[in-house]
Every structure is written in C-alpha cells, then in structure tokens.
Amino acid sequence: MTAPIAFGLTAVFVAVLLLLERLPSVHRAAYGVVKLSASATFVLYGVVVVLRDDVIKLPDVPLFGALLLSFLGDALLVPRGNKAAFLGGLLAFLLGHCAYVGAFVLHGVDPLAFAAAGVVAVFAAIRVMRWLRPHLRGVMRVAVPAYVAVIGAMVCASVAAVVAAGHGPRAAPGALLIAGTCCFWVSDLAVARERFVADGYVNRVVGIPLYFFAQLLILEGWQPGR
C-alpha cells in the first residue's frame, strides 16, 4: 500500500462515515464495518512504513502498538450507550498515546524542546480541564485529566523528536509528524465535546477526519534512525 492509496481510501471511508453520521437511523454494524475499514487502512499502511527498510527498528515496535491500540479503541467505541465499552475504548486510546510517546522517546528527543513544548501543553491542558471539569462525573473526573495529560505529552514528544532528529518543524518529515499529533489532539477535543459538553454533528465533522488523517500523517513523518 502506497501513501496515495492510504490517503485516498481513508478519504473515501471518512466521507462515508460522515454521511452515515448524518442519516437519522443507521445500523451500527454497517457503521462499524466502515469505521473499522478506515482503521484497518492506517494499520496496513503502518505495516508498510515499519517494513520499508526490511529492518524493524526498536521505535517501530511501540509505534505499531499504538496503531493496533487505536484500532481496538475504534472497535470498542462502535456501540453507543455502552459505558463499559466507552471506558474500554478510552483506556485503549490512552495506552495508544502512551505507546506513541514511547516510540518518540526511543526515536530520540531533545529535553529542552520537550520542556518548551511542555509549557504550552500545560497551559492548554489547564484551559481544557477548566472547560470540561464541570461536565465530568464519577470515574471521568480521573480518567479525563489523565487522558489530557498523556495526549499533551504525545504532542510534546513529537516536537522533541523532530528537534532531536535535526528536522526543522516546518520541513518534512518534521512538519508531518507534528501536524499528525496536533490533529490527534484536536480530534480528541471534538470527541470530548461530543461526549461531555454538547452532542452535535459538527463534532463528528471535525473529529472524524482529523483522527484518521492524524494517524497517516504520523506515519508519513516517521523516520527512525534516519
């Protein structure tokens, strides 16, 4: 699978998902097939990226693990109104973000760049939690802050990995890697708004494309040991 094929298939699946989200009644099994097809696309493209040099490097392992955990999270979030499935999906994505952090750290990170990005991430996390906290109940009061912290760490680690690799943040592959993690962060905000603040189609319009293309952008910017 080449990059144009991966991006093209993802665009088709995303368009169908957004159409299905707009319909008044959709069978969840049909929706799940389309969603998991989109997820399978980034997993398969991940295989191509990991194997492109015929040698699997150590950072590739958590990277691919993150893709598999994302696929699992997508599967768990197909049902609606199932709290246990939602919590399972949240945990899968939390672990997936941790795996991405591990991949970037093994890739090599610049401590000063991580600290600088961390200042921005902490400020953003405080603002996000001030927005979400009034809407959180029970275990979500613990789970959501943990999730916000980990997704922020993922973005910081991507910036630090780009700096450590000597790539300018505005040049490929650095721009692609950072853009991917930032898109992931924004897509998670859309999911949080959908789940805890205000249910609405606009959340899916923003969150769904950003999430799937974020995975591909991270893979396009992934160059361990180069």
pLDDT in tens, 65-110: 999 999 999 999 888 777 788 888 889 999 999 999 999 999 889 9
Using the predicted structure, report yes or no on whether residue 198 has a pLDDT greater than 80.
yes
Ranges of each domain in the chain: 3-220
The half-sphere exposure of 13 on its side-chain side, counting CA atoms within 13 A, is 25
Model pLDDT, residue 9: 95
Using the predicted structure, report yes or no on whether residue 218 has a pLDDT greater than 90.
yes
**C-alpha–C-alpha distance, residues 157 and 102, integer Å:** 9
Model pLDDT, residue 151: 94
Model pLDDT, residue 166: 73
Model pLDDT, residue 21: 86
The answer to whether 75 and 36 are in contact (CB under 8 A) is yes
Q: Each residue of 137-162: b (16+ CB within 10 Å) or e?
A: eeebeeebbebbbbbbbbbbbbbbbb
pLDDT-derived band at 34 (thresholds 50, 70, 90) equals very high
Residues 6 or more apart from 220 whose CB is under 8 A from it?
A: 3, 172, 173, 176, 180
Q: Dihedrals φ, ψ of 198, to 5°? A: -150, 115
Q: Which residue has the higher pLDDT, 102 or 53?
A: 102
Model pLDDT, residue 42: 96
What digits encode the pLDDT tens for the residues 142-191?
A: 989 999 999 999 999 999 999 888 754 445 567 899 999 999 999 999 99
Model pLDDT, residue 170: 45
The answer to whether 226 and 53 are in contact (CB under 8 A) is no
What digits encode the pLDDT tens for the residues 114-132?
A: 999 999 999 999 999 999 9
Using the predicted structure, report yes or no on whether residue 212 has a pLDDT greater than 60.
yes
**C-alpha–C-alpha distance, residues 119 and 179, integer Å:** 18
Model pLDDT, residue 165: 81
